[in-house]
Structure 1
Amino acid sequence: MTRYAVFLRGINVNGINIKMADLKRELAKLPLQGVETLLASGNVVCSAEAPASEVKDLVEQRLREAFGYDAWVIVLPAERVRELVAACPYPPDDDGMHTYITLGSDEERLRELFDAGAGAGAEQVSLGPEAMAWRCPKGATLDSPLSKLGAKARYKSTTTTRNLRTMLKVLDAAGA
């Protein structure tokens, strides 16, 4: 049995509103155990016998059927999330700066985003083939190069971003 972190893209923004109790109820219909939701931004921890790719497909299909939107998720073993967070060179809290981790399900697309961020002067570092960390001044997240680049439709189905503090909460809930 593997403990997973599931990160939903684009819920509770842009008119796609899902209550965490409803999300948990729907995911409990899948062959997942210990389903827990965290915060209202689409973070889930669960356990499954299935590989991450199968969990991803199951969750996306369930969300599409239950909530009627084009759902996209990133699924990683909790242990891998722990490794990625440990590899992040930036602190979770810093005067005047936010630290984010962008997760990707398509290595090529994430590399493309990373390269575009470098070209735009973003302060960033690759954490592995499925994640990158970046920083920006507090109050300027939406205006930061990576936020603007990551919002493009091209990245919608393969990436999602979380504040490093949120990632730490996910790890805590996952027991990793």
Structure 2
Amino acid sequence: MTTWVALLRGVNVNGITVRSADLRDLFDQLGFTDVRTVLASGNVVFSSTAAAPALKTKIEKALRDRFGYDAWIVLVTRAAVAQAVEAFPFDAADASRQPYVVFASDEAVLIEILAAAPELDPDADPVARGTGVVYWHPVKGTTVDTPFGRLLSKKTYRESTTNRNLRTLQKIVS
């Protein structure tokens, strides 16, 4: 049995509202065990014996059918989330910055994003590669304006990436 984390992309923003109780109910109905949601930003922790590709397809279809939106998730193990939290390379206590971790459905997408990144100012838009993730530590209030932020928001990456604040990830693994 593997403990998984489904990171939903684009819920509870832009008019797409998915209540945590309804989300938890859906995952229970799909036959998963130990289901819990974390915050109201589309994070579901659950256990299953199924393999990742089948799980991702099943969950995305169920989300589309139940909530009527173009649902995409990034599916990672709880252990991978814990590793990403532990390895955060920047000063997570710096209150002037947002400690983000970028996840992708495919490792190749992370490599592509880093290759496509323009010349980044390491003080304004610090980015670092991690195991299966990219770490990003922009100044608060600048995330949509930085070169890396604009790159992440491209439609090309909408279906395969999502980012989470480090504090959210800490709650997921606790």
Alpha-carbon separation, structure 2, partners of 1:25 and 1:91: 37
Q: 1:160 aligns with which of 139, 144, 162?
A: 162
Residue 57 of structure 1: CA displacement?
Answer: 1.4
Query: Is the 1:52–1:77 contact (alpha carbons within 8 Å) kept by the matching residues of 2?
Result: no
From 125, 133, 139, the equivalent of 2:128 is 125
Give me the CA root mean square deviation.
Answer: 1.4
1:170 aligned to which of 165, 169, 172:
172
Could you tell me which amino acid in structure 2 is paired with residue 132 of structure 1? V
- Structure number with higher helix proportion: 1
- What is the match of residue 30 of structure 2? 30
Question: How many residue pairs end up in the alignment?
Answer: 171
| Amino acid corresponding to residue 85 of structure 1 in structure 2 | V
2:27 maps to a residue whose letter is: L
Shift of 1:116: 2.8
| Length-normalised TM-score, structure 1 | 0.91
Q: CA deviation at 1:21?
A: 1.0
How big is the shift at 1:118? 5.0
Residue identity opposite 1:126 in structure 2? R
Post-superposition shift, 1:87? 1.8
Matched, 1:151 2:161: no
Q: State the TM-score, normalized to the length of structure 2.
A: 0.92
Q: How does 1:13-24 map to 2 (within 5 A)?
A: 13-24=13-24
Alignment partner, residue 47 of structure 2:
47
Q: Which has the higher strand share?
A: 1
Task: State the 1:75 CA deviation.
Answer: 0.9
Which structure 1 residue ranges, 5 or more long, are not aligned? none
In 1, the alpha carbon distance for the partners of 2:31 and 2:96 equals 43
